Amino acid sequence: MTIEFRRAPGVTNAENCLAWVEFVVTLVQAAIQKGIGLSNDTSLAATVQELKGFLGTVLVSGGQPALLEAIFARKSGAVFPREFNSCV
């Protein structure tokens, strides 16, 4: 199985690029440390704020967690994920 991470939307400078890299690395490390496989279990982080909390449970060696604030700034936490097939 392959997971592909693409360029973050609207990245126009190095700071936003580094924030996206921090997000991706932290997400992968949190999943590894929590023993989470590739499932569609939305009970782990069903909102933006729950995702932020999930990522906050892990420290990445050499990471800069403060960069994540740029990812979560101005997000209400009220957005729920949709199943991929329901987007059709």
In a domain, 53, yes or no: yes
The total of other beta-carbon atoms located within 10 Å of residue 32's CB is: 10
Please state, in angstroms and rounded to a whole number, the distance separating the CA atoms of residues 31 and 17.
21
In a domain, 1, yes or no: no
In a domain, 63, yes or no: yes
Q: Which residues in 12-68 belong to E strands, given as ranges?
A: none
Q: Each residue's pLDDT tens digit in the chain (88 positions)?
A: 677 888 777 888 898 889 999 999 998 888 888 776 656 565 666 677 888 888 888 888 888 888 888 888 877 665 555 555 555 4
User: Model-level pTM?
Assistant: 0.70
**Domain ranges, residue 71:** 15-34+41-87
In a domain, 54, yes or no: yes
* Count of structural domains within the chain: 1
